[in-house]
């Protein structure tokens, strides 16, 4: 094996450094979004409580206190472990009862409401097929390690929640494709892209030793236990910290994501190297099959 020249080492090091900077910039932006989201949620809870007091006092204009300032909830690979859990966190999976907790997402403004998933869940192996305008992406879901997440996806898929939705965010130096915002336009112009969700949230799962390598399917969030419907597909090495529930692995169709990445992204104002993919990715249908 020949030794690298100093020029070659410099080029490789520079490329790695570029990826590192892009990742750090991205995570800083997401931490800021998480902080804004936490403030938004606290404001919503306080506002609701105050409204009840006003109603008891006989004032009819109580509804003015119920508005909340929705920020970038559920942003891609969002938040860090340093964010404080919310007081009314959903209950994690209870193996004795076979149940998961799902709670209303008070701070969410962009909602496609199709109801709440059933608490009773199955840990049977499952396969998810994401039918897109560019072909099928198939993933093996880890129902044993992420039962609440898989149960939520089964529920949403049964309600056609993901039908005709657009994957709104992609990175090149930061190799993820983010989907699951039911109201995203993915045109690089819509300020609410990345804020959409189902109106409920559930607990983080399967974080111990989590790695976000090529093919991993994981949940986007805006802090601990704020999972909704947004998820991301990893098509390279992200180096993310273990804060995002990994719930499956792509077994077929990852080359579709590779081809989309080569077309580039519509740069976002944040300058973090991510943006809406120039090649639109539209989810036409999601189906999940399980073995009993």
Q: How many angstroms separate the CA atoms of 102 and 94, rounded?
A: 13
Burial annotation 153-180 (CB, 10 A radius, 16+ → b, else e)? bbbbbeeebbeebbbbbbbbbbbbbbbb
List the Cα angle 174/70/167 in 5-degree steps.
35
Q: What is the pLDDT of residue 60?
A: 27
Q: What is the pLDDT of residue 7?
A: 33
Q: How many angstroms separate the CA atoms of 183 and 230, rounded?
A: 11
Q: What is the pLDDT of residue 59?
A: 29
Q: How many angstroms separate the CA atoms of 176 and 162, rounded?
A: 19
Question: pTM score, two decimals?
Answer: 0.74
- Binned average pLDDT, 10 residues per bin, the chain of 292 residues: 38 46 64 55 29 30 24 38 60 97 85 97 97 98 98 98 98 93 95 94 97 97 95 95 97 98 87 90 97 66
Establish how many alpha carbons lie within 13 A of residue 260's alpha carbon, considering only the half-sphere containing its beta carbon.
31
Contact between 139 and 218 under an 8 Å Cβ cutoff? The reply is no
DSSP 99: B
Q: What is the pLDDT of residue 267?
A: 85
| Residues in a beta bridge with 227 | 202
Residue among 239, 269, 235 nearest 22 (CA): 239
Token pair for 168: 């709104």
- End-to-end Cα spacing for the chain: 52
Q: How many angstroms separate the CA atoms of 132 and 281, rounded?
A: 7
Q: What is the pLDDT of residue 16?
A: 52
Q: What is the pLDDT of residue 76?
A: 39
């Amino acid at each position: 094996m020949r030794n690298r020249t100093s020029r070659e080492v410099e080029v490789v090091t520079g490329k790695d450094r570029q990826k590192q900077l892009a990742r750090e910039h991205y995570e800083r932006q997401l931490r800021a979004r998480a902080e804004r989201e936490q403030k938004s949620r606290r404001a919503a809870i306080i506002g609701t409580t105050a409204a009840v007091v006003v109603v008891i006092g006989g004032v009819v204009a109580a509804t003015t206190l119920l508005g909340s300032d929705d920020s970038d909830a559920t942003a891609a690979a969002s938040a860090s472990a340093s964010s404080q859990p919310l007081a009314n966190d959903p209950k994690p999976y209870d193996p004795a009862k076979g149940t998961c907790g799902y709670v209303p997402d008070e701070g969410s403004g962009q909602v496609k409401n199709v109801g709440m998933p059933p608490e009773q869940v199955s840990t049977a192996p499952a396969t998810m097929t994401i039918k897109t305008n560019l072909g099928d992406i198939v993933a093996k879901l880890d129902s044993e390690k992420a039962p609440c997440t898989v149960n939520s996806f089964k529920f949403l898929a049964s309600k056609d929640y993901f039908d005709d939705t657009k994957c709104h965010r992609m990175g090149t130096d930061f190799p993820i494709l983010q989907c699951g915002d039911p109201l995203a336009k993915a045109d690089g112009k819509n300020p609410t892209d990345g804020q959409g969700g189902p109106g409920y949230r559930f607990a983080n799962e399967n974080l111990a030793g989590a790695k976000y390598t090529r093919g991993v399917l994981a949940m986007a969030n805006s802090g601990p236990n704020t999972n909704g419907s947004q998820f991301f597909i990893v098509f390279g090495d992200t180096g993310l910290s273990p804060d995002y529930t990994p719930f499956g692995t792509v077994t077929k169709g990852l080359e579709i994501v590779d081809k989309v990445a080569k077309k580039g992204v519509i740069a976002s104002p944040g300058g973090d190297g991510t943006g809406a993919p120039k090649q639109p990715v539209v989810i036409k249908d999601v189906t999940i099959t399980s073995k009993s």
